[in-house]
Amino acid sequence: VTTERTLILVKPDGVARGLAGEVLRRIEAKGYVLEAVELRRAPRDLLELHYAEHANRPFFAPLVDFMSSGPVLAVVASGERVIEGFRSLAGTTDPTTAAPGTIRGDLGRTWDAPVQQNIVHGSDSVESAEREISIWFPFLVR
């Protein structure tokens, strides 16, 4: 058994639409363990670190603007292969075509909103998970 940790965010659109509880419910229903949960407004400098891999992409500034536009629910969850498992629960990046049964596929988005409003973030590797956890929850660094 490879127990991993991942950093999950319910983005401002998800919190504003009242979907934070539904996302937590799906995480817990799958059997993952909640290690930390915190509702907070993220400052731009934290978000720029979080999304550093996208710093040169054209959607970087709008993404940081959006992510700082309202509170996010930051979550650390643990479990066997939780990094890949949560990405699977979340569905593909664009909710328009994300598979039914997934968070993005089931809960969609506001249709005239950009793709960045896709309800959740989930780390994509062990390295990113530990890097992102150190940004959001420094007290959880091992």
Question: Given 121, 122, 129, 136, which residue is catalytic?
Answer: 121
* Exposed/middle/buried for residue 137 (C-beta within 10 Å: 0-12, 13-18, 19+): middle
Regarding 84 and contact with ligand DAT (CB under 6 A), the answer is: no
Q: CB 28 → ligand DAT: shortest distance, Å? A: 21
Helix (H, G, I), strand (E, B) or coil at 113: coil
| Contact window for ligand DAT (CB under 6 A) among 75-83, 95-103, 111-119, 126-134 | 111-119
Which of 83, 103, 121, 136 forms a contact with ligand DAT (CB under 6 A)?
A: 121
**SS3 (DSSP) at 46:** helix
Binding site as annotated, residues for ATP:
11, 59, 87, 93, 104, 118
Which CB sits closer to ligand DAT, 1 or 59?
59
The interface region with ligand DAT, picked from 16-24, 32-40, 73-81, 114-122 by CB under 6 A, is: 114-122
Distance CA 132, CA 56 (A): 19
Q: Is 51 exposed, middle or buried (CB count within 10 Å of its CB: 0-12, 13-18, 19+)?
A: middle
Of 117, 121, 65, nearest to 96 (Cα)? 117
115 binds ligand DAT (CB under 6 A): yes
- Applying CB under 6 A, the residues found at the interface with ligand DAT are 54, 59, 63, 93, 114-116, 118, 121, 124
